[in-house]
């Protein structure tokens, strides 16, 4: 049986894609929830019912793209995030802004994780784990080059989802 997820390269990840993924990988809903770091089966069903529209969580879409290319990395155990410190050590020569962009989060979240010891959201933790695996697999010595490669995936997904990042307005304009 072909275990590849059939997500269109020229379209956003939609709810139907996730259900196809679940069935092809013979996952229960509970296992799929754990694989994507979702809070509950209800969250899974909310995402899956997005039949024609891009799924509402872009991090889940990015994880879907990762699992599409790396199905053997499918994690069904409860999310046990890498320590923030070990994640940052993997990307030690990157700026906090670059790391935040790779995770599709903001730098204040990094601040909370590092300085306040707050945990990352489970979906973000899965994405951290995926990036660490991908970095190891690609054997890319340069953090900058690795993040540039990942950025291509992120930008493609955002474009397919018709999400455009807007520059933050300066205070002078407010």
Q: What is the pLDDT of residues 123-144, one digit of tens each?
A: 888 899 889 888 888 777 788 8
Could you give the 3-state DSSP secondary structure of residue 54?
A: strand
Domains of the chain, by residue range, sit at: 15-73, 84-160
pLDDT digits (tens, 9 = 90+) for 151-160: 888 888 888 8
Ramachandran bin of 154, using left for φ above 0, alpha for ψ from -120 to 50, beta for the remaining angles = alpha
Give yes or no for residue 165 having a pLDDT over 60.
no
Q: Nearest CA to 36 among 24, 22, 26, 50?
A: 22
The pLDDT of residue 77 is 61
Cα–Cα distance list, 161 to 23, 58, 62, 80, 154 (Å): 24, 8, 11, 29, 10
* Average pLDDT of span 54-61: 85
pTM, full prediction: 0.76
């Amino acid at each position: 049986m072909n275990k590849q997820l059939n997500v269109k390269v020229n379209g956003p990840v939609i709810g139907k894609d996730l259900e196809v993924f679940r069935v092809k990988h013979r996952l229960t809903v509970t296992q799929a929830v754990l694989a994507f770091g979702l809070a509950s089966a209800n969250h899974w069903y909310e995402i899956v019912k997005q039949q024609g529209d891009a799924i509402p969580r872009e991090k889940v879409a990015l994880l879907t793209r990762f699992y599409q290319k790396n199905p053997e990395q499918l994690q069904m155990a409860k999310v046990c995030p890498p320590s923030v410190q070990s994640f940052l050590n993997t990307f030690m020569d990157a700026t906090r802004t670059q790391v935040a962009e790779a995770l599709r989060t903001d730098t204040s979240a990094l601040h909370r994780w590092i300085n306040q010891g707050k945990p990352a959201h489970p979906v973000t933790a899965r994405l951290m784990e995926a990036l660490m695996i991908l970095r190891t697999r690609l054997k890319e010595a340069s953090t900058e080059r690795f993040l540039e490669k990942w950025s291509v995936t992120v930008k493609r997904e955002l474009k397919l989802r018709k999400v455009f990042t807007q520059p933050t307005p300066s205070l002078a304009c407010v």
